[in-house]
Amino acid sequence: MKKMRKVLAVLMILTLLVTVFAGCKKQDDNGKETGTTESTAAETSPILQKDVIVVGTNAEFPPFEYLLDDGVTPDGFDMALIKAIGEKMGKEVKIENMDFDAILAAIGNKVDIAIAGLTVDEERLLQVDFSDTYFTAVQSIIVKENDDTIKSAEDLKGKKIGVQLGTTGDLIATDDIEGATVERYKKAITAVLDLLNGRIDAVLIDSATAKALSAANKGTKVIEGDFEPEHYAIALPKGDTALKDSINKALKEVKEDGTFDELLEKYIESGE
Ligand code: ARG
């Protein structure tokens, strides 16, 4: 008998739950049901509702992002790319310059999205989403021009290596290079100056940036390592698929209409 009552009680609760959930169906003003399929992308993404998208970067990474001679205006491949993407989306883009290691945490509060030569990796994917990738790089080594002791990544063992704080170069030097002492800098250029001063033996940084920094600093040269390729993408708040779709669509359009190749030529290939 007791068992019977229990079964009845469970049945009653189930019926109640079904009724409650059935009543939860969204209805519009006319009492018509509305579903997510009918809502536009802008309704589902708070960022897509705005006219201005705030984009975080760290303008210490030529040729992707750097400050012009006025010391305040960011320029570079990423800056031009995100502007072109913004145009396709009908949005204005406002750049917020900050420390590299602060960028991911700023998404969702200080900035909406970020473009900063950011390599997609597992760890970062726990914190943010990424757009489709737009560039492939690999870590390179900057050494003094007259250095003949460091000829490959192998030779970095036990050396003093300068990196930019929080970058993949930092992670690789810290985790993968045996016996290395890692010096972490906020700005890559300071690491290069310390290399020239003899305070460190090498700088580990992404290939195109290594080339640009070495070209701008006499007395240095670039050595290729045999590191894994890295893929750059735009960092986005987690779970905003409408925004991600819209950015990927704009990126695709920028590639298809030739703008992307023009920017590559202007900012990156011309310096090679
Ligand atoms: N690709 C490297 C990373 O994601 C370095 C990026 C540095 N970017 C910058 N704007 N400082 O860690």
Residue 120 lies in a domain: yes
DSSP, collapsed to helix, strand or coil, labels residue 135 as strand
Best mutation site among 103, 119, 185 for ligand 1, i.e. most ligand atoms within 8 A of its Cβ? 119
Q: Is 202 found in the same domain as 242? A: no
Does residue 40 carry a pLDDT above 80? no
167 lines ligand 1 (CB under 6 A): yes
Tell me how crowded residue 27 is: count the other CB atoms within 10 A of its CB.
11
Percent of the chain having pLDDT more than 70? 84
**Domain of 83, in residue numbers:** 45-136+231-269
Q: Is 60 found in the same domain as 125? A: yes
For the segment 54-81, the average pLDDT, to the nearest whole number, is: 97
User: Which protein residue has the closest C-alpha to ligand 1 atom 12?
Assistant: 167
Tell me how crowded residue 155 is: count the other CB atoms within 10 A of its CB.
18
Q: Is 132 found in the same domain as 235? A: yes
Does residue 37 carry a pLDDT above 90? no
pLDDT tens-place string over residues 113-151: 999 999 999 999 999 999 999 999 999 999 999 999 999
Q: Are residues 46 and 62 in contact, defined by beta-carbon separation less than 8 angstroms?
A: no
Does residue 242 carry a pLDDT above 70? yes
Does residue 41 carry a pLDDT above 90? no
Per the document, the length of the chain is: 272
165 lines ligand 1 (CB under 6 A): no
d(CA 260, CA 56): 20
Point out the least confidently predicted range of 25-29, 152-156, 216-220, 255-259: 25-29
pLDDT tens-place string over residues 147-183: 999 999 999 999 999 999 999 999 999 999 999 999 9
